[in-house]
Amino acid sequence: MSKTVLIVDDSVSMRQMVSFTLRDAGYEIVEAINGRDALSKLKGNRIDMIITDLNMPEMDGIEFIKQLRACAEMRFTPVVMLTTESQEAKKEEGRRAGASGWIVKPFTPEQLVGVVKKFVR
């Protein structure tokens, strides 16, 4: 059974690129356009890992992770931030919210698949 990754990003092109890369590596994909949309997509879907942008309208990545971690069944689901932000303060804010890892854009497909394989077996 293949593993499912939820991609949360307001950029259509970024969602497409991440989805294409991970589908090619054998993962099932669910897409969401922001944190609020992502929370609704969690209902009824078995999600093994989440990759989320930081800066999004309606609900950003940090608030999304905080709300996600408040749900008992999602407390230990790996969440990786995929963002252009690379400042240590932002990374620390992500860690405090419950992020499992951080990838800075731009990234290579190999780097993305490698990170996903670390969290989802």
The pLDDT, as a whole number, for residue 87 is 87
The pLDDT, as a whole number, for residue 116 is 97
Give the mean pLDDT per block of 10 residues along the chain (121 residues): 93 96 97 96 92 94 95 92 88 93 92 96 81
- Cα-to-chain-centroid distance, residue 47: 11
- Domain definitions of the chain by residue range: 4-119
Q: What pTM was estimated for this model as a whole?
A: 0.95
CATH of domain 4-119: 3.40.50.2300
Closest CA to 34 of 72, 75, 74, 62: 62
Pairing of strands 79-83, 101-104: parallel
